[in-house]
Amino acid sequence: MYIKKRGDKWLVQISWYDAQGKRHYKTKQGFLTKTQARKWGTEMEAAKNDNQISDQDPIFAEYFKDWYETYKIPGTSGRTKERYKVIYDFLTKYFGKTKISKITRHKYQTFMNQYGEDHVKGTVYKTNGSIRSCVKDAVADGIIRMDFTQRINLTWNDERTRKIDYLNFEQVQQLKKALLDGIDPSYISRYMLLAIIYTGMRPGEIRVLTWKDLDEKNQVIHISKSWDYDKKKIINYDSDDINKETKNRSSTRVIRVDKKLFEILNQLKANKHERLFIGDDGTIPTSSAVNKVLRNRLDKAGIKKEGFHFHSLRHTHVAILLFKGVDIYSISKRLGHAKISTTVDKYAYLLDELKQQSDDQIVKILDDI
């Protein structure tokens, strides 16, 4: 350890040799007292002994870019790649060429406060989570000593948070009637819409269902794969090729369904395909095609829902189960979420509505005493 006073401040320099015998230096200056300088030097000496020291001090934003391109991007979807790039752009705009060693908890908190002003809760949590993973690796690599993302208070813009759109029970019955009216095995999109109403499956999971996945005797459907819209291929949940940010091995599941759904789906056997939702032309309806049919059937049922789409029916399935008293744990497993917290966070709006109903019910009971 080398300590020297420069003007009214103190400088510390640590040196060491790597496995190839090359000498490296790590220097820090600006300490107000010699005691502070020695304390930092002692920490670096300890890090050196544990092989957790580096002479690198990259620009924060550039380190994040190198980190996600090396450890996170390979094998991920286009949407995930774009999300990391957007975070990188924000870091570049806010921190500029600031070195990672110069980022303090206060500076990072200020950044997240500003970021939260224009973003919803889910986006704030995802962004912070990605940056936090990066910073943890920087600590592990010995580039910095302190994880400045610890004990951060996250804030967000509630006004920009889009509420989950769903149909109530009566509307679902009306839509179901409109979908079944004049249905024919050639109307593949209608069957896909009915399937998501009954199961709450992801649209990508419905697209790749085969007859082998259906167990009519035990009234269950086995879900083990999905359609990857970015890579345009089927992804098995037990493979290493899945996008682990949105899908995981918990997505592999078995769900119970109603006999009525089997009766409806069995009509598709007339198409004589291994997979359920393939039309006469040998193709699966696109999301746009399914959404077009959905809007048409909603109009027929007299239901006005601007922006309502295929995936909204998954939310509708959850809403029906919640308001009919099914517990959140069972719903989480049915949806294929790895953690119940994922379900709670995603459907917080529905849970708040349910709580309001429960509170009103409690008040009514008390009024009747």
What CATH number is associated with residue 77? 1.10.150.130
Which CATH number is 259's domain given? Answer: 1.10.443.10
Round to whole Å and give the CA distance between 128 and 105: 13
> For residue 54, is it within any domain?
no
Residue 313 lies in a domain: yes
**Residue 369 counted as domain residue:** no
Same domain, 155 and 198: no
**Contacts with 69 (C-beta within 8 Å, 6 or more apart), sequence order:** none
Length of the chain as a residue count: 369
Shared domain for 175 and 319, answered yes or no, is: yes
Q: Is there a single domain that holds both residue 131 and residue 247?
A: no
Are 225 and 343 in a shared domain?
yes
Q: Which domain holds residue 281?
A: 169-362
End of a domain among 123, 141, 160?
160
Torsion of CA 232, 238, 244, 249, to 10 degrees: 130
Q: Are 156 and 179 in a shared domain?
A: no
Q: 239 with 344, same domain?
A: yes
CA distances from 19 to 24, 43, 221 (A): 11, 21, 56
Q: Does residue 179 belong to any structural domain of this protein?
A: yes
Q: Token digits for 30?
A: 């600006």
* 3-state DSSP helix/strand/coil % of the chain, to nearest 5: 55, 10, 35
* Same-domain check for residues 149 and 186: no
Counted domains in the chain: 3
Q: In this structure, are 173 and 309 located in the same domain?
A: yes
d(CA 222, CA 230): 24
How many C-beta atoms surround the C-beta of residue 335 within 10 A? 23
Q: Which residues contact 261 (CB under 8 A, 6 or more apart)?
A: 194, 195, 198, 199
pTM beyond 0.85, yes or no: no
**Domain match, 107 and 243 both:** no
Low-confidence ranges of the chain (pLDDT < 70): 50-55, 75, 77, 160-163, 230, 239-250, 353, 355-369
Check: CB of residue 209 under 8 Å from CB of residue 277: yes
Does some domain include residue 55?
A: no
Q: Would you say residue 225 lies in a domain?
A: yes
Instruction: Show the DSSP H helices in 167-257 as ranges.
Output: 169-180, 188-199, 203-207
Same-domain status, 220 and 295: yes
Note whether residue 276 is domain-resident.
Answer: yes
Specify the long-range contacts of residues 175-183, CB closer than 8 Å, at least 24 apart.
Answer: 175/297, 175/298, 175/301, 175/303, 177/301, 178/297, 178/298, 178/300, 178/301, 179/297, 180/264, 181/300, 183/264, 183/267
pLDDT in tens, 211-245: 999 999 999 999 999 888 767 788 888 765 555 44
The pLDDT value given to residue 243? 52
Q: What is the pLDDT of residue 166?
A: 86
Q: Name beta bridge partners: 214.
A: 221
Select from 126, 160, 194 the last residue of a domain: 160
Cα separation, 60 vs 134, in Å, equals: 10
pLDDT in tens, 37-55: 899 888 878 777 766 666 6
Strand partners, 227: 234
- Are 209 and 353 part of one and the same domain? yes
Q: What is the pLDDT of residue 246?
A: 47
Report d(CA 29, CA 10) in Å as an integer. 6
Do 303 and 199 lie in a common domain? yes
pLDDT score recorded for residue 105: 95
Q: Is residue 368 part of a domain?
A: no
Task: Give the per-residue pLDDT at 199.
Answer: 95
